[in-house]
Amino acid sequence: MNAPIFSIVIPAHNEEKYIGKCIEAIRAASAHFDKEAVQIIVSANRCTDETVAISRRMGAEACENTVRCISSVRNQGAALAKGRILIFIDADSCMSEGSLTEIREMLSSGEFIGGGTRAKFDRMSLGIIVSSAYIATQIIPIMKKHKTALMGGMFWCYREDFKKLGGFDESMVSVEDMDFAIRLKQLGDSCGKKYGVLKKSYIVTSSRKFDRFGDWYLVKNRSLTKAIFTGKDREAADKFYYNARK
């Protein structure tokens, strides 16, 4: 059997409500490739529901992780990857149909080191729009500093470059995705490549954090938002990520 082209890692903590839709979307995006071209890895973290069973029933590989650290969960999944191209997508997100084709085209061009993907919420409201704008005020200065649009959502790069970076930083309890994007962009700078964002493709992600906390929560609790952006505040991360699931 030939090695897969893509290895797609899905970190998951009690995601039985979403994991099936995530995998179905990957299968739809895989339609233009051979069946063996796509390896799906679910890195299950402290799951007590049917996440692992559903994943395996749908043909995905599943590994289990008990560490309370999203970077560790991502890295454990990546350790099982066999494909040349490595992709990370959250379990409550669905990639659009042309995603894999566009990722392969951008990497094959030699112009890009890797990159991220635009995200759309599965519902919108004035509160979500204002909250997103507020988050942007935290991110824009970082993007200006590094002179690129450091969009995350769904990350993609060559597996060998992921290894060069040492994966995700396991000392971080939040915004590990932004840290990885910055380091990936810096690696690209060192070899004359750009950090890219998919132009045609995107992901649809759930609004469950807003459903749970309220559409205006991040604006009303700006101190929590700022604490999350430090990447090191365990109490803030626990409150908004690790102890929250709906």
**Are 91 and 58 contacting, i.e. CB atoms less than 8 angstroms apart?**
no
Cβ pair 74, 88 in contact under 8 A: yes
Separation of alpha carbons 153 and 161, rounded Å? 19
Cβ contact 42:52 at 8 Å? yes
**Which pLDDT score, from 0 to 100, does residue 68 have?**
85
> Quick one: which H or E segment has residue 241?
none
Closest CA to 114 of 174, 189, 31: 189
- DSSP H or E run through 140: helix 126-146
CA distance 44 to 11: 6
Cα separation, 71 vs 11, in Å, equals: 9
Cα–Cα dist 208/210, whole Å: 5
Question: H-helix or E-strand containing 223?
Answer: helix 222-228
| Prediction pTM value | 0.93
CA distance 69 to 89: 16
Q: What is the pLDDT along the chain (246 residues), one digit of tens a residue?
A: 688 999 999 999 999 999 999 999 999 999 989 989 999 999 999 999 999 999 999 999 999 989 888 999 999 999 999 999 999 999 999 999 999 999 999 999 999 999 999 999 999 999 999 998 888 887 777 777 766 677 778 999 999 999 999 999 999 988 898 899 999 999 999 999 999 999 999 999 999 989 999 999 888 988 888 888 888 888 888 787 777 654
Burial class (CB in 10 A: 0-12, 13-18, 19+), 114: buried
pLDDT of residue 246: 47
Residue 16: phi, psi to the nearest 5?
Answer: -60, -25
Phi, psi of 102 (to 5 degrees): -70, -40
